[in-house]
Amino acid sequence: MMSEDIYYDFNMIVSYDRFEYLTELTKKGKIQWICVKYEPITLIGNGDDLIDGDFVQSFTVQGKISEHVSVLLILTEYINALSGRGDMKIVSDVISAPINENCCLQVSISDSLDYVSYTAKDLCHAFAQDPIVRFADLIMSQIAVYSFTQKAWPTQTIDATLYYDNEDFVRIIIQLIREKRAFDFHRCVFQWEYRKKLKIK
């Protein structure tokens, strides 16, 4: 039989505000997230169109909430190649629990109704403190020991001149891919000032 605190944890996790709850548990050191899979930065097109595509990377992480409850999260990060707009999506699932419930939840920044009305810069400022972004920052701070450079990264030929006003930033992302800089890409998604600090070598 489960203790009351495990019941409480489980009920909180399956509610829509689970990310606020998981953020607080992570900040207090009650959850340690482990990266179990990483998909490196890749340019993914809209159908066959790479020009209107997104640079994407994803992290699958696992954390133990209590003796009986573990959570698996997939954090996917996007930067549109043409507009420079960033996005984050988190899919969560309770992968072990004493009772059988449908606990899967998916949320993303672009779910916001006014997402498309923002420029890339304004989007960064508007959503920098969003619960999804704050939670993602905490996860990334815990998985820094994961060796991303050992992963086989994709080899893509990307012509930065095709991206017009965003050409310089696309060149920077190409550089991040070449140098396997997963954490710098993460910071670029919703940190406009950090984007501006990066220089093309």
What is the pLDDT at residue 2? 39
- Whole-angstrom CA distances from 52 to 91, 163, 187 are 24, 9, 22
Instruction: Report residue 88's pLDDT band, with 50, 70 and 90 as the boundaries.
Output: very high
Mean pLDDT, all residues of the chain: 82
Structure tokens at 119: 């420029």
Question: How far is the C-alpha of 67 from the C-alpha of 165, rounded, in Å?
Answer: 52
pLDDT at 177 exceeding the cut of 80: yes
Question: How far is the C-alpha of 43 from the C-alpha of 47, rounded, in Å?
Answer: 12
Domain count, the chain: 1
**Closest by alpha carbon to 58, among 157, 168, 136, 111?**
136
User: Which of 54-63, 134-143, 161-170 is predicted with the least confidence, judged by mean pLDDT?
Assistant: 161-170
pLDDT at 7 exceeding the cut of 50: no
Return the sign of the alpha-carbon dihedral for residues 195, 142, 134, 177: positive
What residue numbers bound the domain in which 139 lies?
4-197
Contact predicate 25/65, CB 8 Å? yes
CA 70 distance to own-chain centroid: 19
- Whole-angstrom CA distances from 116 to 93, 100, 113, 167, 196 are 28, 38, 8, 21, 22
Task: Encode pLDDT of 146-162 as tens digits.
Answer: 667 767 787 888 888 88
Phi, psi of 51 (to 5 degrees): -65, -45
Give the predicted TM-score (pTM) of the model.
Answer: 0.86
- For the sheet containing 34-46, what is the strand order? 34-46, 49-64, 70-80, 86-96, 105-108
pLDDT at 16 exceeding the cut of 90: no
Contact predicate 41/101, CB 8 Å? no
Give the helix/strand (H/E) hosting 80: strand 70-80
